[in-house]
A = this chain, B = another copy of it.
């Protein structure tokens, strides 16, 4: 390779590098050639560029869609942004926890029957990790599914002294629908909850 050819290849490599960096999508060799021109040995340029990025934090990857820069897979876990703000239990987690709290011990299938959807693995894992639920043996039916119940930590978490402190829907229904006759007693119940 002459010195001039060398300089041309180096320049083409810079251009391809910038092009693939700025492109929103992977580019195939035809699209790259449209920018770089046809006077360049594109395959060789791409190979050199890929070699330059080998082992770096970013790699030049080739897929069926074309060439693109991607962060090195081994860094994925370290690149995660850490969010230390408090976050609320998701609606799905709250519902699952509520069914377990009110109906315990229950199987996953029973939770699904109430909610209409089965709790996801991620939700169950989160509740377990938080120590809010625990297995309570198995139900003696075919398949022997695990029964779930709440833990002492659950009471702590919600500031309850016992499970009896959980207000029941019926108490409210009496108060709401049975008219004033029930009001006297209903109020007292509600206050204790």
Contacts and interface: CB of A to CB of B under 8 A. Distances in A.
A155 to B, nearest CB: 20
Contacts of A58: 17-18, 21
A34 interface: yes
B18 A71 contact: yes
A78 to B, nearest CB: 6
A48 interface: no
B79 A19 contact: yes
**Which interface residue of A13, A16, A69 has the most chain B CB atoms within 10 A?**
A69
Interface string A53-78: 00111100000000001011001001
A77 to B, nearest CB: 11
A58 B20 CA distance: 10
A128 B182 CA distance: 61
Interface residues of A, number: 27
A35 interface: yes
A11 to B, nearest CB: 9
A83 B35 CA distance: 11
Interface in A31-53: 34-36
Contacts of A79: 15, 18-19, 22, 35
A23 interface: yes
A21 B69 contact: yes
A82 interface: yes
A75 B23 contact: no
**Which interface residue of A18, A35, A58 has the most chain B CB atoms within 10 A?**
A18
Interface of A: 13-19, 21-23, 34-36, 55-58, 69, 71-72, 75, 78-83
Given A22-B79, A22-B82, 5 more contacts: A18-B71, A19-B57, A19-B82, A21-B57, A35-B80
